Amino acid sequence: MYNLSDLKNLSVAIDITPLRGEKTGIGNYVHYTLKYLLSEYNDLQINGFSFGLHQFQKDSHEIVKKLHRNRHIPIPTRVLYKWWKHFNYPRIDYFLKDISILHFTNYYLPPIQNKNTVLSIYDLSFLTNPQWVSPQIINLFKPFILSSAQRATHIITCSKRSKKDIETLLGISSQKISVAYPGFDDTIFLPIDKEKAQNYLEKHYHISPPFILFVGTIEERKNITGLLNIYKKIHRQIPHKLVLIGKKGFYADEILLKIQQLECSDKIVYLNYIQDHTELKWFYNSADLFVFPSFDEGFGIPPLEAMACGCPTIVSNQGALPEVVGTRGITIDPQDIDSFAEIILNILSDKKKLNDMVSNSILQAKNFSWIKTAESHFKVYKELG
pLDDT, tens digit, for every residue of 248-288?
A: 998 899 999 999 999 999 999 999 988 899 999 999 999 99
Q: How far apart are CA 333 and CA 335, in angstroms?
A: 5
CATH number of 194-365: 3.40.50.2000
pLDDT at 177 over 70: yes
* Omega cis (within 30) before 210: yes
How sure is the predictor about 137, in pLDDT bands with cuts at 50, 70 and 90? confident
pLDDT at 136: 87
**Structure confidence at residue 97 (pLDDT):** 85
Residues β-bridged to residue 51: 73
Question: Does 163 score more than 80 pLDDT?
Answer: yes
Of 4-8, 208-212, 248-252, 366-370, the least confident:
4-8
Whether the pLDDT of residue 5 is over 80: the answer is no
Q: Which residue has the higher pLDDT, 4 or 46?
A: 46
**Percent of the chain as helix, strand, coil, to the nearest 5:** 50, 15, 35
The stretch 131-156 carries a mean pLDDT of 92
Alpha helices (runs of H) in the chain, residue ranges in sequence order:
25-40, 61-65, 77-87, 92-95, 125-128, 135-151, 160-170, 194-205, 224-234, 252-261, 280-286, 301-308, 321-325, 337-348, 351-365, 370-384
Long-range contacts of 165-174 (CB under 8 A, 24+ apart): 165/123, 165/124, 165/127, 165/128, 166/121, 166/124, 169/124, 169/127, 169/128, 170/124, 170/145, 170/146
Gyration radius of the chain's alpha carbons: 22
- Cα(277)–Cα(315) distance, rounded to whole angstroms? 21
- pLDDT for the residue 8: 63
Domain ranges of the chain: 5-183+369-384, 194-365
For the structural domain made of 5-183+369-384, what CATH number should be given? 3.40.50.2000
Task: Report yes or no: 121 and 157 within 8 Å, Cβ to Cβ.
Answer: yes
- Residue 211's SS3 state is strand
| pLDDT grade for 2, boundaries at 50, 70 and 90 | very low
Predicted pLDDT at 332: 98
Same fold for the domain at 5-183+369-384 and the one at 194-365?
A: yes
Question: Averaged over 145-149, what is the pLDDT?
Answer: 96
pLDDT at 7: 61
Distance of alpha carbon 48 from the chain centroid: 21
Q: Name which of 83, 159, 155 is nearest 117 in CA terms.
A: 155
Average predicted confidence (pLDDT) for the chain:
95
Task: Please state, in angstroms and rounded to a whole number, the distance separating the CA atoms of residues 102 and 124.
Answer: 22
Which run of H or E residues covers position 291? strand 289-292
Q: Looking at residue 250, what is its pLDDT?
A: 86
State yes or no: pLDDT of 336 exceeds 90. Answer: yes
Residue pLDDT, tens place only, 179-194: 999 999 999 999 999 9
> Does the structure show a pLDDT above 60 at 379?
yes
Average pLDDT over residues 299-319: 98
Average pLDDT over residues 342-366: 97
Per-residue pLDDT at 1 exceeds 70: no
Residue 96 confidence (pLDDT) above 50? yes
- pLDDT over 70 (residue 297): yes
Around Cβ 234, how many Cβ atoms within 10 Å? 18
How much is the pLDDT for 352? 96
